[in-house]
Amino acid sequence: MKKLALFASGNGTNVQQISEYFANNNDVKVSCVVVNKKNCYVIERAKNLNIPCYYFNRKDFYESDKVLDLMKENEIDYIILAGFLWLIPNNLLMKYNNKIINIHPALLPKYGGKGMYGHNVHEAIVLHKEKESGITIHYVNEKYDSGDIIFQAKCKIEAKDSADDVAAKIHLLEKEYYPKVIEKVVKENK
Ligand code: GAR
Protein backbone atom coordinates (compact mmCIF):
# COMPACT_ATOMS: atom_id res chain seq x y z
CA MET A 1 0.00 0.00 0.00
CA LYS A 2 1.43 3.38 -1.05
CA LYS A 3 0.40 6.37 1.01
CA LEU A 4 -0.22 9.89 -0.26
CA ALA A 5 -0.17 13.24 1.52
CA LEU A 6 -2.10 15.91 -0.37
CA PHE A 7 -0.84 19.49 0.07
CA ALA A 8 -3.38 22.20 -0.70
CA SER A 9 -4.41 25.75 0.15
CA GLY A 10 -7.62 26.61 -1.65
CA ASN A 11 -10.96 25.25 -2.73
CA GLY A 12 -9.72 21.67 -2.82
CA THR A 13 -11.52 20.28 -5.87
CA ASN A 14 -8.42 18.27 -6.74
CA VAL A 15 -8.13 16.96 -3.18
CA GLN A 16 -11.76 15.86 -3.41
CA GLN A 17 -11.29 14.14 -6.76
CA ILE A 18 -8.07 12.37 -5.82
CA SER A 19 -9.50 11.22 -2.46
CA GLU A 20 -12.69 9.88 -4.04
CA TYR A 21 -10.73 8.16 -6.80
CA PHE A 22 -8.57 6.23 -4.31
CA ALA A 23 -11.28 5.69 -1.67
CA ASN A 24 -11.64 1.95 -2.31
CA ASN A 25 -8.22 1.28 -3.77
CA ASN A 26 -6.12 -1.50 -2.25
CA ASP A 27 -2.80 -0.13 -3.52
CA VAL A 28 -3.00 3.61 -2.93
CA LYS A 29 -4.39 5.53 0.02
CA VAL A 30 -4.79 9.23 0.79
CA SER A 31 -3.47 9.37 4.36
CA CYS A 32 -3.64 13.06 5.12
CA VAL A 33 -4.15 16.56 3.84
CA VAL A 34 -1.70 19.35 4.67
CA VAL A 35 -2.69 23.01 4.35
CA ASN A 36 -0.87 26.30 4.81
CA LYS A 37 -3.96 28.52 5.05
CA LYS A 38 -6.16 28.52 8.12
CA ASN A 39 -9.53 29.17 6.52
CA CYS A 40 -9.32 27.41 3.18
CA TYR A 41 -12.31 25.37 2.05
CA VAL A 42 -10.21 22.26 1.53
CA ILE A 43 -10.19 21.83 5.35
CA GLU A 44 -13.97 21.37 5.22
CA ARG A 45 -13.64 18.90 2.37
CA ALA A 46 -11.05 16.84 4.27
CA LYS A 47 -13.40 16.72 7.26
CA ASN A 48 -16.26 15.49 5.08
CA LEU A 49 -13.97 12.92 3.48
CA ASN A 50 -12.81 11.73 6.91
CA ILE A 51 -9.18 12.41 6.10
CA PRO A 52 -6.97 13.95 8.80
CA CYS A 53 -5.98 17.51 7.94
CA TYR A 54 -3.02 19.42 9.35
CA TYR A 55 -2.20 23.12 9.22
CA PHE A 56 1.38 24.40 9.18
CA ASN A 57 2.57 27.99 8.97
CA ARG A 58 5.56 29.35 7.06
CA LYS A 59 7.90 28.96 10.02
CA ASP A 60 6.90 25.31 10.46
CA PHE A 61 7.61 24.66 6.79
CA TYR A 62 10.87 26.48 6.33
CA GLU A 63 12.48 26.52 9.76
CA SER A 64 11.57 23.17 11.29
CA ASP A 65 11.16 19.48 10.53
CA LYS A 66 7.52 19.44 11.67
CA VAL A 67 6.13 18.62 8.22
CA LEU A 68 8.85 16.08 7.50
CA ASP A 69 8.18 14.42 10.85
CA LEU A 70 4.46 14.23 10.06
CA MET A 71 5.30 12.56 6.73
CA LYS A 72 7.50 10.04 8.52
CA GLU A 73 4.92 9.31 11.24
CA ASN A 74 2.30 8.65 8.58
CA GLU A 75 4.74 6.62 6.45
CA ILE A 76 3.98 8.82 3.45
CA ASP A 77 5.39 7.60 0.12
CA TYR A 78 4.32 10.48 -2.15
CA ILE A 79 3.50 14.14 -1.65
CA ILE A 80 0.89 15.41 -4.08
CA LEU A 81 0.49 19.17 -4.54
CA ALA A 82 -3.05 20.19 -5.38
CA GLY A 83 -3.23 23.96 -5.40
CA PHE A 84 -0.31 24.35 -2.98
CA LEU A 85 1.63 27.47 -3.91
CA TRP A 86 4.77 27.55 -1.74
CA LEU A 87 8.14 26.23 -2.83
CA ILE A 88 8.90 22.91 -1.18
CA PRO A 89 11.72 23.14 1.38
CA ASN A 90 14.92 21.16 1.06
CA ASN A 91 14.28 18.70 3.87
CA LEU A 92 11.20 17.39 2.01
CA LEU A 93 12.87 17.53 -1.43
CA MET A 94 15.74 15.41 -0.16
CA LYS A 95 13.59 12.77 1.52
CA TYR A 96 11.06 12.69 -1.35
CA ASN A 97 13.33 12.90 -4.37
CA ASN A 98 11.08 12.39 -7.45
CA LYS A 99 8.21 11.59 -5.12
CA ILE A 100 6.60 15.04 -5.05
CA ILE A 101 4.17 15.76 -7.86
CA ASN A 102 2.41 19.00 -8.82
CA ILE A 103 -0.35 19.95 -11.21
CA HIS A 104 -0.15 23.27 -13.03
CA PRO A 105 -3.13 24.73 -14.93
CA ALA A 106 -1.25 25.53 -18.16
CA LEU A 107 1.04 23.95 -20.72
CA LEU A 108 4.44 24.47 -19.10
CA PRO A 109 6.93 25.96 -19.75
CA LYS A 110 4.39 28.57 -20.86
CA TYR A 111 2.53 30.46 -18.12
CA GLY A 112 4.61 29.10 -15.24
CA GLY A 113 6.78 30.63 -12.53
CA LYS A 114 6.21 32.80 -9.49
CA GLY A 115 2.80 34.47 -9.42
CA MET A 116 1.45 32.20 -12.17
CA TYR A 117 -1.13 30.13 -10.37
CA GLY A 118 -4.85 29.47 -10.36
CA HIS A 119 -6.97 32.22 -11.90
CA ASN A 120 -3.95 34.40 -12.80
CA VAL A 121 -3.00 31.77 -15.35
CA HIS A 122 -6.45 31.68 -16.95
CA GLU A 123 -6.56 35.47 -17.15
CA ALA A 124 -3.15 35.52 -18.86
CA ILE A 125 -4.35 32.92 -21.38
CA VAL A 126 -7.33 35.13 -22.32
CA LEU A 127 -5.19 38.30 -22.39
CA HIS A 128 -2.72 36.71 -24.79
CA LYS A 129 -5.50 35.31 -26.98
CA GLU A 130 -4.11 31.78 -26.74
CA LYS A 131 -5.88 29.21 -28.91
CA GLU A 132 -5.11 26.36 -26.53
CA SER A 133 -4.25 25.73 -22.92
CA GLY A 134 -4.10 22.65 -20.74
CA ILE A 135 -2.60 21.01 -17.69
CA THR A 136 0.89 19.90 -16.79
CA ILE A 137 1.63 17.25 -14.19
CA HIS A 138 5.29 17.35 -13.18
CA TYR A 139 7.82 16.39 -10.55
CA VAL A 140 8.66 19.13 -8.08
CA ASN A 141 12.12 20.61 -7.59
CA GLU A 142 13.45 23.69 -5.79
CA LYS A 143 12.07 26.13 -8.40
CA TYR A 144 8.53 26.99 -9.46
CA ASP A 145 7.02 24.84 -12.21
CA SER A 146 10.31 23.56 -13.62
CA GLY A 147 10.63 19.89 -12.64
CA ASP A 148 10.47 17.06 -15.20
CA ILE A 149 7.13 16.84 -16.96
CA ILE A 150 5.18 13.61 -16.47
CA PHE A 151 2.04 14.37 -18.46
CA GLN A 152 0.25 17.13 -20.36
CA ALA A 153 -3.27 17.39 -21.77
CA LYS A 154 -4.62 20.19 -23.96
CA CYS A 155 -7.93 21.93 -24.52
CA LYS A 156 -9.06 24.42 -27.16
CA ILE A 157 -9.67 28.02 -26.13
CA GLU A 158 -12.26 29.95 -28.14
CA ALA A 159 -11.99 33.70 -28.78
CA LYS A 160 -15.19 34.24 -26.78
CA ASP A 161 -13.95 32.31 -23.69
CA SER A 162 -13.63 34.25 -20.43
CA ALA A 163 -11.07 33.37 -17.76
CA ASP A 164 -13.88 31.51 -15.96
CA ASP A 165 -14.60 29.51 -19.12
CA VAL A 166 -10.92 28.60 -19.35
CA ALA A 167 -10.92 27.61 -15.66
CA ALA A 168 -13.90 25.31 -16.23
CA LYS A 169 -12.13 23.57 -19.14
CA ILE A 170 -8.95 23.17 -17.08
CA HIS A 171 -10.84 21.77 -14.10
CA LEU A 172 -12.38 19.11 -16.33
CA LEU A 173 -8.91 18.05 -17.48
CA GLU A 174 -7.61 18.03 -13.89
CA LYS A 175 -10.51 15.87 -12.77
CA GLU A 176 -10.07 13.47 -15.67
CA TYR A 177 -6.30 13.03 -15.49
CA TYR A 178 -4.66 13.93 -12.16
CA PRO A 179 -5.83 10.88 -10.17
CA LYS A 180 -5.05 8.50 -13.06
CA VAL A 181 -1.57 9.92 -13.62
CA ILE A 182 -0.80 9.69 -9.88
CA GLU A 183 -1.93 6.05 -9.92
CA LYS A 184 0.27 5.29 -12.92
CA VAL A 185 3.38 6.89 -11.37
CA VAL A 186 2.85 5.11 -8.05
CA LYS A 187 2.30 1.71 -9.69
CA GLU A 188 5.27 2.05 -12.05
CA ASN A 189 7.59 2.83 -9.12
CA LYS A 190 6.51 -0.11 -7.02
C1 GAR B 1 -5.78 24.00 -9.70
O2 GAR B 1 -6.31 24.51 -10.89
C3 GAR B 1 -4.29 23.76 -9.86
O4 GAR B 1 -3.93 23.39 -11.16
C5 GAR B 1 -3.73 25.10 -9.51
O6 GAR B 1 -4.50 25.55 -8.43
C7 GAR B 1 -5.84 25.05 -8.60
C8 GAR B 1 -6.31 24.48 -7.28
O9 GAR B 1 -7.68 24.20 -7.33
N10 GAR B 1 -2.34 25.01 -9.16
C11 GAR B 1 -1.45 25.96 -9.47
O12 GAR B 1 -1.75 27.00 -10.02
C13 GAR B 1 -0.02 25.64 -9.06
N14 GAR B 1 0.88 26.60 -9.60
P15 GAR B 1 -8.36 23.33 -6.20
O16 GAR B 1 -7.98 23.93 -4.86
O17 GAR B 1 -9.83 23.42 -6.47
O18 GAR B 1 -7.83 21.91 -6.34
Please check the confidence at residue 149 and state whether its pLDDT lies above 70: yes
| Catalytic pick among 104, 119, 138, 171 | 104
The confidence score (pLDDT) of residue 126 equals: 97
Q: What is the pLDDT of residue 189?
A: 84
Q: Establish if 174 belongs to a structural domain.
A: no
106 occurs within a structural domain: no
Q: Using 50, 70 and 90 to split pLDDT, how confident is the model at 114?
A: confident
Answer yes or no: is 129 within a domain: no
Alpha-carbon span 122 to 7, nearest angstrom = 22
Asked if the structure places residue 157 within a domain, the reply is no
The per-residue pLDDT for range 27-75, each reduced to its tens digit, is: 999 999 999 999 999 999 999 999 999 999 999 999 999 999 999 999 9
Count of the separate structural domains present in the chain: 1
Q: How does pLDDT run across 80-102, given as a tens digit for each residue?
A: 999 999 999 999 999 999 999 99
Three-state helix/strand/coil letters over 59-73: HHHHHCCHHHHHHHH
104 noted as active-site residue: yes
The domain of 33 spans: 1-97
Q: pTM higher than 0.75, yes or no?
A: yes
pLDDT at 190 over 70: no
Give domain status of residue 137, yes or no: no
Distance 22 CA to ligand 1 centre (A): 19
In a domain, 151, yes or no: no
Cβ < 6 A, ligand 1 pocket:
8, 10-14, 82-83, 85, 103-105, 117-118, 170, 174
CATH number of the structural domain spanning residue 22: 3.40.50.170
Give the residue from 150, 65, 57 showing the smallest Cα distance to 99: 150
Query: Measured between alpha carbons, how far is 9 from 34 in angstroms, rounded to an integer?
Result: 8
